[in-house]
């Protein structure tokens, strides 16, 4: 009887330790995602609808917005500086987006703002960003009920109208650090972000 009780106690201790380390690991992954979010400024362009025409307009708006953002990103040396520049040039950015809509023969109104919101996991050609809350520039077209176009406006990862992405050495090292172990941490941060998004 005492042997069974001892085994049960060891089993319960093992379970408790496993849960403790899992929670500590998850908290560390969550902090890693937040640290990443603190260093970048996202970009989101939301189409009026999912019709082929409205999706094409979305891409034209994207091009107009990127043309305004790229020179600003070249001047910014931090996310905070980029935020300040975007705020200072918000009307110019909105005007460029609105011109793209008019040039396409549409009349939907543009709204533009900086806001924090939940972003799903996004995978690009050379990197991924886990789900979580990020500060971002939101460009909404009309009813904004269509699919989004996502990227990162600081650091400047949206290189051209085709949406190519590139990383500086520092960002690449951040994402690829520790090889497979970091990929597991990244996946954990993604799962935590998705769970938080569902709860919200």
Lowest-pLDDT choice from 50-64, 117-131, 173-187:
173-187
pLDDT tens digits, 97-121: 999 999 999 999 999 999 999 888 8
C-alpha–C-alpha distance, residues 129 and 37, integer Å: 9
pLDDT tens digits, 123-179: 766 667 888 889 999 999 999 999 999 889 898 877 543 344 444 444 444 444 433
Count of residues in the chain: 200
- Residue 147 φ/ψ, nearest 5 degrees: -65, 155
Q: For residue 81, what are its two tokens?
A: 């500086």
pTM of the entire predicted model: 0.66
C-alpha–C-alpha distance, residues 89 and 82, integer Å: 10
The percent of the chain in helix, strand and coil, each rounded to the nearest 5, is 55, 20, 25
Sign of CA dihedral 111, 164, 86, 186: positive
According to the model, what pLDDT value does residue 155 have?
87
Whether the predicted pLDDT of 17 surpasses 90: no
C-alpha–C-alpha distance, residues 197 and 200, integer Å: 5
DSSP secondary structure string for all residues of 15-80? HHHHHHHHHHHHHHHHHHHHHHHTT-EEEEEE-S-SSHHHHHHHHHHHHHHHHHHHHHHHH-SSHH
C-alpha–C-alpha distance, residues 124 and 129, integer Å: 8
Residue reference for tokens 């954990």: 188
């Amino acid at each position: 009887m005492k042997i069974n009780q001892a085994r049960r106690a060891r089993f319960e201790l093992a379970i408790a330790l496993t849960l403790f380390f899992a929670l500590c690991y998850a908290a560390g992954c969550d902090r890693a995602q937040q640290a990443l979010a603190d260093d970048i400024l996202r970009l989101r362009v939301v189409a009026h609808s999912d019709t082929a025409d409205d999706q094409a307009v979305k891409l034209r708006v994207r091009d107009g917005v990127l043309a305004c953002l790229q020179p600003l990103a070249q001047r910014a040396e931090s996310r905070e500086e980029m935020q300040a520049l975007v705020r200072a040039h918000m009307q110019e950015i909105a005007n460029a987006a609105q011109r793209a809509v008019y040039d396409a023969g549409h009349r939907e109104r543009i709204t533009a703002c900086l806001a924090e919101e939940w972003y799903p996991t996004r995978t690009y050609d050379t990197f991924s960003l886990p789900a979580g809350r990020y500060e971002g520039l939101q460009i909404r077209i009309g009813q904004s009920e269509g699919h989004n176009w996502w990227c990162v406006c600081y650091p400047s990862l949206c290189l051209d109208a085709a949406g190519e992405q590139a990383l500086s050495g520092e960002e690449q090292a951040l994402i690829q650090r520790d090889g497979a172990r970091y990929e597991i941490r990244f996946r954990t941060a993604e799962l935590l972000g998705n769970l938080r998004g569902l709860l919200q």
